[in-house]
Amino acid sequence: MRQGLSGLAQTNFGELVQQHGLGPAKAAELMAAMELGKRIASLPSDARARVSTSADVAHLLLPEMMWLSKESLRVLLLNTRNFVMVVREVYNGTINSAERRVSEVFRDAVRENCKSVIVVHNHPSGDPTRAAKTCR
């Protein structure tokens, strides 16, 4: 089997199931994930979410994040035209905490040379009051 993601993208189902530890179900799952990735990558930039207001961010993430039982800290990585390139979960915290070092929050943005970053987290309790720790 070829190496790396590009090699995986060029691998067929038969080659995958011959790999140790990969049965037909996992091979099909990998093939589906690679196909989904190809389709997303081929979308024109206007088909991706564009963020210009906090309401845009809420529209994008609120449907999923409002039901989480633990705090989740996420970053949206944006390109030069403010299209969302990727949403990454930096930390899945506890019921009332999602603490991370600043370097961890911005690591992916620096690696991927993103123009802008939006940091988002939820309040599972529904109380948006900042904790005393947050205010330091």
What's the rounded Cα separation, in Å, for the pair 34 and 129?
A: 41
Mean pLDDT to the nearest integer, 26-30: 92
Q: Which tens digits make up the pLDDT trace of 34-65? A: 888 877 766 655 557 889 999 999 988 888 88
Beta bridge partners of residue 72, listed in sequence order? 92
- CA-CA distance, 18 to 78, in Å (whole number)? 39
What percentage of the chain exceeds 90 in pLDDT?
A: 24
Spacing of C-alpha 8 from chain mean position = 21
Burial of 70 (0-12, 13-18, 19+ CB in 10 A): middle
pLDDT at 120 over 60: yes
| Mean pLDDT over the full length of the chain | 81
Q: Where are the alpha helices (DSSP H) in 10-101?
A: 13-17, 24-41, 54-65
Indicate the burial class of 128 (C-beta count within 10 angstroms; 0-12, 13-18, 19 or more).
exposed
Q: What is residue 54's predicted lDDT score, i.e. its pLDDT?
A: 92
Q: Please give the distance of CA 25 from its chain centroid, rounded to a whole number.
A: 24
Average pLDDT in the 60-79 region? 86
pLDDT at residue 29 is higher than 70: yes
Q: What is the pLDDT of residue 96?
A: 58
Domains and CATH numbers, the chain: 4-42 (no CATH), 48-121 (3.40.140.10)
- C-beta separation of 94 from 68 below 8 A: no
3-state SS, residue 123: coil
* Residue 62 pLDDT: 85
pLDDT above 70 coverage of the chain, percent:
82
What are the DSSP E strand ranges found in 23-134?
72-78, 84-92, 116-121
Q: How far apart are CA 76 and CA 60, in angstroms?
A: 10
When pLDDT is cut at 50, 70 and 90, the band that residue 10 belongs to is confident
User: How many residues are listed for the chain in this entry?
Assistant: 136
pLDDT reading at 19 higher than 80: yes
Mean pLDDT of 110-125: 87
